[in-house]
Amino acid sequence: MIFLDNLINGISLGSIYAIIALGYTMVYGIAKMLNFAHGDVIMMGAYIAFCALQYWNLPPFVALLVAMAACTVMGIVIEGLAYRPLRQAASLAVLITAIGMSYLLQNLALMIWGANPKSFPSSMISIPTISLFGGELKVAGATLITIAANIIIMVALTLFTGKTRTGKAMRCVSEDRGAASLMGINVNRTISVTFAIGSALAAIAGILLCSSYPTLQPTTGSMPGIKAFTAAVFGGIGSIPGAMLGGLLLGVIEIFGKAYISTELGDAIVFAVLIVVLLVKPTGLLGKPVREKV
């Protein structure tokens, strides 16, 4: 039962990484930029949900919607102010801007909520724990919601990008931004929508993360953001199924590494596996090699 318990915990943690990684992979796949402030949007979403529950006494579902709406606006503003002016700039300039935006959000949270960790309300996910195999295996409600949310989001995004007009525009911009513009697609609006969707997913991920690990502070999103980026690269950055696969595998590897090898070396094991995978398959598990025309 210990093996099953670790497996379920790994899938739950991996589901959180997968939801975060979807934001990374969508922005990179369409805008060809790495938004390293994404992890801090997760933290801001969790803080907004915390305020909605603790101070404004809103129902959990309404708190979720408020956090998603706030992060959606935040993502659009970040893209418009920080990234859009650098659309034609060197990738290094965009990278430095993303890191600067990350520290800006962290310090903004520090000014508003302070440095002391806050305990995330358990009322956000009030589903009771389920007992299996005569009570030998117990699955928390937050774990079930996290796994279900990952599956629903993955299916919804796949249908959105494949069936809707906006989703098809995103795929066109991903393939060739110039050609998409000539075909009448509003590239700026498409990229803004991508940031909006990624940031809304960040709010969901932040709430799920803090529901499972209920300590909230300004640096809450830093390490999960880095690991989710690792998951996106692991699965093949730019691929939506790759983000899900990479996140799930990363979560399982981390939990099993901490359980059976070393608690202190759990994070190191995760990144070591990434290095090995990239040495064998540089584009990630589901990534496709990009051929450049000369």
For the stretch 117-136, pLDDT in tens is 999 987 777 777 888 776 67
Report pLDDT for 130.
83
| Residue labelled with tokens 């309404």 | 62
Report pLDDT for 216.
93
Q: Which residues of the chain have pLDDT under 50?
A: 294
Report pLDDT for 239.
83
Report pLDDT for 251.
92
CA distance 122 to 130: 16
Report pLDDT for 290.
58
Q: What is the pTM of this model?
A: 0.91
Q: For 39-74, write each residue's pLDDT tens digit.
A: 999 999 999 999 999 999 899 999 999 999 999 999
Q: How many CB atoms are closer than 10 A to CB 175? A: 11
Report pLDDT for 263.
83
Report pLDDT for 294.
47
At CA 275, angle to CA 292 and CA 287, rounded to 5? 40
Report pLDDT for 202.
93
Q: Which two tokens stand for residue 220?
A: 């809450």
